[in-house]
Amino acid sequence: MTTSTTIDNAAVLWSATGADRADRPLLIIMHGYGSHEGDLFSLAPHLPLEPVIAALRAPLVAPAPVTDGWAWFPISEPGSPAPATVTAAVTAVLAWLDALPQRPPSVGLLGFSQGGAMALELLRAAPDRFSFAVNLSGFIATGPQSSDAVLAAQPLPVFWGRGTADGVIPASAIERTQAWLPGHSTLTERIYEGLPHSISQAELGDVVNFLRAQYAAVAVEPTA
């Protein structure tokens, strides 16, 4: 697996260009292990129109037998990645965000599997920079983060969806996430009977409703 720790800006898929991005919230989308930026970008037509969507490609080339796939961090132990590898991926996304020519008024996070873990870890690393996170079949990484106390005191909205037939994410990672999220987020949790490691139409509908609620809440906030 390559050791690049930067986001390929040329590989980012955007739902809008140029002036159409100005003054609009940003929704960062992150794919799962062995996938690519086009995977979750296919959800864009179904998502609310308020945000500009940016689908990122993970910085690491996934090893064989995966072909043409990417990873946010190596799988040394399923559900328990090495903390340094998670930090490297989080740092890469934050650096990409810092380099944007336009600063969005708000930034949301949405990811599947490893991308879902990334959404939660970005929220933990920089809670002041993000408005919410959508974690689909992902998990909380091991080890405390310096801003966990901030999230405990001022929790942010998190949607966590997963299926009962998911054979990819180990039970230990699910249990860790179940223990952490209620005390560090305003949690919307959905469990889908019989759903494997994937996204169903029912889950997509719940995600859309969650996103609409987040953008509606921003729209009605009083101005200073």
Q: Which CATH class is domain 9-218?
A: alpha beta
Q: Is the pLDDT of residue 147 over 50?
A: yes
Per DSSP, the residues of the chain read -----S--GGG-EESS-GGGGTT--EEEEE--TTB-HHHHHTTGGGS-SSSEEEEEPPSEEPPTT--S-EESS--SSTT---HHHHHHHHHHHHHHHHT-SS--S-EEEEEETHHHHHHHHHHHH-TTS-SEEEEES--PPSS--TTHHHHHHS-EEEEEEEETT--SS-HHHHHHHHHHHHHHEEEEEEEETT--SS--HHHHHHHHHHHHHHHHHHHTSPP-
Arithmetic mean of pLDDT over the chain: 93
Q: Please report, for the chain, the start and end positions of each structural domain, with discontinuous segments joined by +.
A: 9-218
Query: What pLDDT is stored for residue 222 in this prediction?
Result: 45
Average pLDDT over residues 129-143: 95
Average pLDDT over residues 153-174: 97
pLDDT digits over 99-112, tens only? 999 899 999 999 99
pTM: 0.94
Query: What pLDDT is stored for residue 220 in this prediction?
Result: 53
